[in-house]
């Protein structure tokens, strides 16, 4: 076990990954892979601003929130902080997962009712969450407003990584307001559940709204017979 911890913590880019927060060897490796891709595709300059990633999907139950949380934890290190923003102002599953759905959050901040310090919640070392806050009948308008753009800029100055957990694109348009704000977009789909056509539509929609689509993350994969398991058992 010590050997694995040592190996996993070392990482390919020399940046340790938060192994304690991971559920399995396969998950750790997959998130490390994703982290490397994002690091390469959205390379940070020395002393530059942080990078932001939008986690989007066609429909709900495709593992978007789970991946966003795991990615946020994976991206954060002792030196690099990460903030996860629950931009699904309608359902807010991420906020509910951390028991923060009754706390002031993004909606309240965008309405100018609270400060940034009031809405930041620490969920792991170097990892923060901005919950969705109060409910609003105008989520798209709030997310597409100037205040949101100001917040995005502010967060990139303060945090190394900004992860947006969005509402499903195939159902509501809220995530499309965030597409031009985020530096890169990752589309999440679930194995044996999501349809290729739906994922393609979501990507085309995001591209139309000037999103920088980095790629696709497949969640819920079956690793029962994979080389990961074979390798881990050796």
Partner 1 sequence: MHETEQHEITLSKIFQALLRKFYIILIAVFVAAIAGGAFGYIQNRGKDVYGATTKFKISVVSQLAGSQETQAVNHTYSETLLSMITDEMAQEAFVQEKVLPELAKTYQIPQYDENNPENGFFDVLALVQSSIKYSFDHKVNSNAISVSVRSTDKDFAKALLSSVKVVVPEYIEENMIRPQDKTVDLSDGTTKVVLSYHTRCQELTLSYIKTINAGQATTEMIKNAIIFAFGAAVIAAVAIIILDNADTRVRDSEKLAQVLDVPVLASIPKMQDVKTTHSPIMNKNGEKEE
Q: Which residues bind partner 1 (CB under 8 A)?
A: 23-24, 26-27, 30-31, 33-34, 37-38, 63, 65-67, 69-70, 93-94, 96-100, 121-125, 129, 186-187, 189-197, 199-200, 203, 213-223
Residue 196 CB, shortest distance to partner 1, in Å, is 5
Residue 122 CB, shortest distance to partner 1, in Å, is 4
In whole angstroms, what is the distance from residue 104 CA to residue 36 CA? 33
- Secondary structure, 3-state, 118-163: HHCEEEECCEEEECCCCCCCCHHHHHCCHHHHHHHHHHHHHCCEEE
- Nearer to partner 1 (CB atom), residue 129 or residue 143: 129
Residue 192 CB, shortest distance to partner 1, in Å, is 6
- Nearer to partner 1 (CB atom), residue 12 or residue 193: 193
Residue 225 CB, shortest distance to partner 1, in Å, is 12
Q: What would the two tokens of residue 84 be?
A: 């996860």
- Nearer to partner 1 (CB atom), residue 92 or residue 144: 92
Torsion angles phi and psi, residue 69, rounded to 5? -65, -50
Residue 68 CB, shortest distance to partner 1, in Å, is 9
In whole angstroms, what is the distance from residue 57 CA to residue 201 CA? 10
In whole angstroms, what is the distance from residue 191 CA to residue 116 CA? 37
Q: Residue ranges of the alpha helices (H) in 61-138?
A: 64-75, 93-97, 106-110, 116-119
- Nearer to partner 1 (CB atom), residue 14 or residue 197: 197
Residue 55 CB, shortest distance to partner 1, in Å, is 11
* N-to-C CA span, the chain: 12
- Nearer to partner 1 (CB atom), residue 23 or residue 146: 23
Q: What would the two tokens of residue 32 be?
A: 């490390």
In whole angstroms, what is the distance from residue 151 CA to residue 130 CA? 11
- Nearer to partner 1 (CB atom), residue 86 or residue 174: 86
In whole angstroms, what is the distance from residue 209 CA to residue 138 CA? 19
């Amino acid at each position: 076990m010590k050997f694995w911890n040592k190996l996993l913590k070392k990482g390919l880019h020399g940046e340790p990954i938060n192994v304690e927060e991971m559920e399995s060897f396969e998950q750790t490796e997959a998130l490390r892979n994703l982290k490397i891709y994002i690091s390469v595709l959205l390379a940070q300059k020395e002393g530059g601003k942080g990078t932001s990633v939008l986690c989007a999907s066609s429909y709900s139950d495709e593992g978007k929130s789970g991946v966003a949380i795991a990615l946020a934890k994976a991206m954060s290190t002792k030196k690099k902080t990460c903030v996860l923003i629950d931009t699904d102002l309608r359902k807010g599953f991420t906020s509910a997962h951390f028991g923060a759905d009754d706390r002031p959050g993004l909606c309240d901040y965008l309405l100018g009712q609270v400060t940034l310090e009031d809405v930041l919640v620490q969920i792991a070392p170097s990892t923060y969450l901005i919950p969705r806050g109060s409910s609003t009948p105008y989520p798209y308008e709030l997310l597409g407003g100037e205040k949101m753009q100001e917040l995005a800029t502010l967060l990139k100055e303060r945090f190394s990584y900004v992860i947006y957990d969005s509402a499903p694109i195939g159902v509501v348009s809220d995530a499309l307001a965030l597409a031009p704000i985020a530096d890169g977009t990752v589309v999440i789909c679930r194995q044996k559940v999501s349809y290729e056509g739906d994922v393609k539509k979501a990507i085309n929609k995001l591209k139309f709204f000037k999103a920088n689509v980095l790629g696709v993350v497949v969640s819920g994969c079956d690793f029962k017979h994979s080389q990961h398991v074979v390798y881990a058992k050796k």
